[in-house]
A = this chain, B = another copy of it.
Amino acid sequence: MSTIVNRRDLEFQLYEVLEIQQLFDSKRYGDFDRATIDEMLDGAEDIAEQVFLPLAGRLDNNEPKFVNGMAEMIPEAKDALDAYAAAGFFSAGFDEDVGGLQLPYVVNIALNGLFGAANNALYGFPMLTVAAANMLNTAGSAAQKALFLPPMLEGRWFGTMCLSETQAGSSLADIRTRATPRSDGTFSIRGTKMWISGGEHELSDNIVHMVLARLPDAPAGVKGISLFIVPKFRVNDDGTLGEHNNIVLAGLNHKMGQRGLPNTVLNFGDSGETIGHLVGEAHHGLGYMFHMMNEARILVGQCAATLGLTGFLHSLEYAKGRPQGRLPDNKQADSSQVPIVEHADVKRMLLSQKANVEGALALILYCALLVDRLKLEQDAARRRRLELLLEILTPIAKSWPSEFCLEANKWAMQILGGYGYTRDYPLERFYRDNRLNPIHEGTYGIQAVDLLNRKVRMDDGAAFSALIEEIASTVAESVDELREEAEQLRRCVELLEQTTSGLLGCEDARQRLANATPYLDAVGHIVVAWQWLRQANVAERQSAAGNGDRSFYEGKVLAARFFFRYELPKVIPGLELVASLDRTALDFPVAGFAPE
């Protein structure tokens, strides 16, 4: 059994639940068929297993060192990323016109999930590079694209996103980095950026930083932020590398996890001029960044889910092989110990993982397919509906896996007991790695406000309605065997609608948003329950049609049942709390926490 992927489940999600083969009927994706996709997944699995996976523990044990102003990494990291590049995975998701394979996004996500599961920190490099290239491809000029995209898509130059500053992490409105126009149309960049993943290293020939900065005439707040391409080495018009662009590594952050990916403090323009190139229109930088950030958020959710998955598979393997204790009704002290997978509590911890992880993966792939469907959809109204669905699901796809697949990693460690707490097994690393996900790319609390304050109210509630309709349609189409679960979900959705309408009626913004996080928790659970009902319906139908794999389908249906019995009921007290517009936290006097 692979410890990075359950291919049977992935195929179930892609071909049986999402039916991505329908994409192949389109002109855009007409070159693909299932055999091609499966071969690509095979190839990715090989590289992930053979090159990324063996390096994960070593990278964790050898975090980047600050040496001579550089972030020094173990050399095998470059070999592994070169293998990823050589297989064409940097460019696979891009359109053919810029040299890509035009791979459906949903497949590209699935494929990259193998690398995320095998070596989450190392996967950060291509993930960030592709995100930066995507942004360039969307917002850059033809000349910028011609100059920067090819080496990025070949994996020769890597990319970063430079948003945060020490005083502005969650509040991008407060960034201070300045961009001053130069006579040749470029800009002089000055400032310090914080939390820049992959900000410095020697794994690629150049690093293309996508930097948010303010022009001299910029209005205050988020409407005065522009986006710049700021390469580590300046780039000549013929694409060759010029001088160092005076970006100085000011420090490395020493993280709890994700140690294979240097996280840096970068000074721009402090020791010589740093030149940047404006992307798109001035003051529109945040919009461009968020275009990319939305995809990045889905990818964060996926990283969380794949870390959860590998933890699940590891702990399952361990539980099958580890004898310990006897079943409760066996009083014979001299009988053999049973493998712990036979203990109900261990099964519960495995099922909890399966339910959270496969529910999260289903949600991520569903969102990814929305991106593909958007590209194919011609009808404007249907396009808008897909857009709205993607908008409202994005904060959930980012947050829910980050929280509940971290929880899955906790159970994986627990199954291994003391062994899980040691560094001889990778479980504690998964747990440390995953702890980043509720923090970066917008914290859990930020996503909660995004959901409740923006997405739920978007287009007069059209995004929220679209989501409710999708869930209702799954409920309506459910097979008889899942009537009870469908009805339970329907009642939860009803409560969610009532709660949401009560919240929106509250005119005090502080009060309305005070419990945004419990609201996100509840919506997340409902959305994942919906994803499970979708899966269980397919599994029941396949099973009834006699399509083999009985124990696989049975496992899916039972995992769905588990989620509905053990997890979904938590939504009720959660939504009741939110509906009460409780002010306990909001009004709590700071002096009451503890004496000075």
* Chain A residues close to B by CB (< 8 Å): 1, 6, 8-9, 164, 167-171, 173-174, 194-195, 219-223, 253-257, 312-313, 316, 320, 323-329, 333-334, 337, 341-348, 350-351, 354, 410, 413-414, 417-418, 420-424, 428, 431-432, 435-436, 438-440, 443-445, 448-449, 453, 508-510, 512-518, 551-552, 554-556, 558-559, 561-562, 565-566, 569-570, 572-573, 576-577, 580, 582, 584-586, 588-596
Contact = CB atoms under 8 A, between A and B. Distances in A.
B509 A424 contact: no
A476 to B, nearest CB: 25
Contacts of A592: 551-552, 554-556, 558-559
A562 B589 contact: no
Contact of A325 (B171, B313, B561): B171
A551 B591 CA distance: 6
A595 to B, nearest CB: 5
A349 to B, nearest CB: 8
A421 B436 contact: yes
B417 A169 contact: yes
Contacts of A439: 413-414, 417-418, 420-421
B565 A569 contact: no
25 contacts: A1-B596, A169-B417, A169-B418, A171-B324, A171-B326, A174-B337, A219-B333, A221-B334, A253-B418, A255-B421, A256-B423, A328-B453, A328-B513, A342-B590, A345-B517, A347-B590, A348-B585, A417-B439, A420-B439, A421-B436, A431-B435, A558-B592, A565-B584, A566-B582, A572-B573
A529 to B, nearest CB: 13
B562 A585 contact: yes
Given A169-B417, A170-B325, A255-B421, 15 more contacts: A170-B417, A173-B325, A173-B333, A254-B424, A255-B423, A328-B453, A345-B514, A348-B514, A351-B584, A354-B593, A414-B438, A432-B432, A555-B588, A555-B592, A565-B584
Can you tell how many copies of this chain the complex includes? 2
Closest 8 CB pairs of A and B: A221-B333, A555-B592, A569-B573, A256-B428, A348-B585, A344-B514, A220-B334, A328-B509
A594 B513 contact: no
A422 B566 CA distance: 34
B348 A510 contact: no
A585 B344 contact: yes
A281 to B, nearest CB: 19
A152 to B, nearest CB: 26
Contacts of A6: 594-595
Nearest to A253: B422
Contact of A561 (B169, B171, B570, B584): B584
A563 B593 CA distance: 14
A347 B585 contact: yes
Contacts of A432: 256, 432
A509 B323 CA distance: 20
A448 to B, nearest CB: 7
B586 A256 contact: no
B593 A350 contact: yes
A355 to B, nearest CB: 10
B552 A256 contact: no
Nearest to A221: B333
A278 to B, nearest CB: 21
Contacts of A438: 414
B348 A313 contact: no
Contacts of A173: 325, 333
Contact of A569 (B313, B333, B344, B577): B577
Contacts of A167: 323-324, 337
Contacts of A347: 585-586, 588, 590
A487 to B, nearest CB: 16
Contacts of A595: 1, 6, 8, 552
A568 to B, nearest CB: 9
A590 B555 CA distance: 9
A591 B8 CA distance: 13
Contacts of A257: 421
A554 B587 CA distance: 12
Contacts of A554: 589, 592
Contacts of A593: 316, 350-351, 354, 555
Contacts of A515: 344, 348
A535 to B, nearest CB: 13
Contact of A418 (B195, B561, B562): B195
A413 B164 CA distance: 18
Nearest to A5: B594
Nearest to A324: B171
Contacts of A440: 418
A344 B424 CA distance: 41
A417 B435 contact: no
Contacts of A588: 347, 351, 555, 558, 562
A420 B6 CA distance: 33
B577 A565 contact: yes
